[in-house]
Structure 1
Amino acid sequence: MGTNIVCPWGFLAETVMPTTNMPPAQPILKARTFASVVSIPIEDVHLSQLPTPVVRGDKTYVKISEDLYQEQLKLFQNNLLGRLLLKKGSTPMKTGALKSCLEDAWRPTAPWNLVPIGKGYFDIHFNTEDDMRRAWGGGTCTLATGLFRLSKWTPDFKPGDVLPQTHAQV
């Protein structure tokens, strides 16, 4: 008698095959990377194909290959980190209003994204290196409500970490 596994995510549950007179063939399942699993249709994923996660305390870790990690880091080569420093008593800016002010200052040629990551920090995704260099070369932006300081993007950045000063105030 088999054990029934209850799984709230359909793509993790094993597929139930209809019974026939012939014994079912045992499929050969090859371990997949996390990225390859999430890029295919949900119904094609078996629990045995996922990498085994490691739980340490309240965090779950999934091992990925160094090659995949380096490949994904290349996607962030045109990114910067920004920090919005508001003047005392000024009203906080919404992300859309901040993006509009920065767009006027930087005049990018391609679409770009401003992603809030907490504590006044923003991840800035540029589609072209020229746009990133233009923003970086402009240094700190003076806004009506405060300053927007730029720093080089670093992997594993956490809001609240102290970033080095990258532009001198003259």
Structure 2
Amino acid sequence: MAEGSNGFIIPWKCLKDREESPAKTVYAKSGQKKTFAQALGTTCDIPLSELPTPYIKGDMIVVQIDETKYLAGLEDCKTHLHGRVILSKGDKPLTHLDLTKMLQPVWKALGPWKAIPLGKGFYEFEFASLEDMRWVLGMGSLNLSPGFLRLFAWTKDFVPTTMKSTKTQA
């Protein structure tokens, strides 16, 4: 952790060298701590006017997404897969970087791909083409040593926090 120019601790190295606005300086001198959102508030280049307007529906805050954009997003996901890293008891968890390094030699013949961590050992894999995605899906599970990567079809209603594992490593 680095100490900022105003005396407060900045745990994210990417933010420690940023110039701070006078408003943030006053905030820091008042003795209050920055929230995570405030610390990252200047890192986004998307104007707020371009973001959907949130509104309250029941007891939730929601945003409305244009149907054509939603359908275009679903179309983009046709080349995606979901996967889960299944480890044996006592195995050290794999980092996102470790998993990517393990898969690069196995998937070297494919076009560009990326792995997006979703939490609880789940990943979303994005492939450059439908053919690449089908080839990987056809592989089924991969032995990672340690653990296995179990791949399955992408679904729009996938929520990693509510998934129950119905398969185990044997």
**TM-score, normalised relative to structure 2:** 0.62
Q: Distance in 1 between matches of 2:155 and 2:73?
A: 13
Q: C-alpha displacement at 1:127, in angstroms? A: 1.2
Deviation at 1:121, TM superposition (A): 0.2
Correspondence for 1:19: none
Matched residues, percent identical? 34
Shift of 1:140: 0.3
1:159 aligned residue = 160
How many residues are treated as equivalent by the alignment? 125
Secondary structure in structure 1 of the residue aligned to 2:161: coil
Q: Is the 8 A contact 1:151 1:165 kept in 2?
A: no
Distance of 1:41 and 1:102 partners within structure 2: 33
Q: CA deviation at 1:53?
A: 2.5
Q: Which residue of 2 aligns with 1:12?
A: none
Give ranges in structure 2 of 5+ residues lacking alignment: 1-22, 24-44
Q: CA deviation at 1:161?
A: 3.3
Question: What SS does structure 2 have at the residue aligned with 1:69?
Answer: helix
Instruction: In structure 1, give the amino acid aligned to 2:151.
Output: L
Q: 1:116 and 2:135 equivalent? A: no
Q: How far did residue 41 of structure 1 move?
A: 7.3
Aligned residue in 2 for 1:145: 146
Contact 1:110/1:128 (8 A) holds in 2: yes
C-alpha RMSD of the superposition = 3.1
State the shift of 1:153 in Å: 0.6
Instruction: Give the conservation status (yes or no) of the 8 Å contact 1:106–1:134.
Output: no
1:136 is matched with: 137
2:136 alignment partner AA: A
What TM-score comes out, normalization by structure 1 length? 0.62
1:28-66 CA-to-partner distances (Å, cap 9, x unmatched) read xxxxxxxxxxxx9749x4xxx875532246642111232
- CA deviations 1:128-163 (Å, max 9, x no partner) are 122211110111001111110011111131113337
Q: Shift of residue 126 of structure 1?
A: 0.7
Alignment partner, residue 79 of structure 1? 80
List per-residue Cα deviations over 1:98-151 (Å, max 9, x = no partner).
112122223342221111110010011111122211110111001111110011
Query: For residues 88 and 52 of structure 1, what CA distance do their matches in structure 2 show?
Result: 45
Q: How does 1:1-170 map to 2 (within 5 A)?
A: 42=47, 45=49, 52-56=53-57, 59-162=60-163
- Choose 1 or 2 for highest CA Rg: 1
Structure-2 separation of matches of 1:110 and 1:69? 25
Q: What secondary structure sits across from 2:162 in the alignment?
A: coil
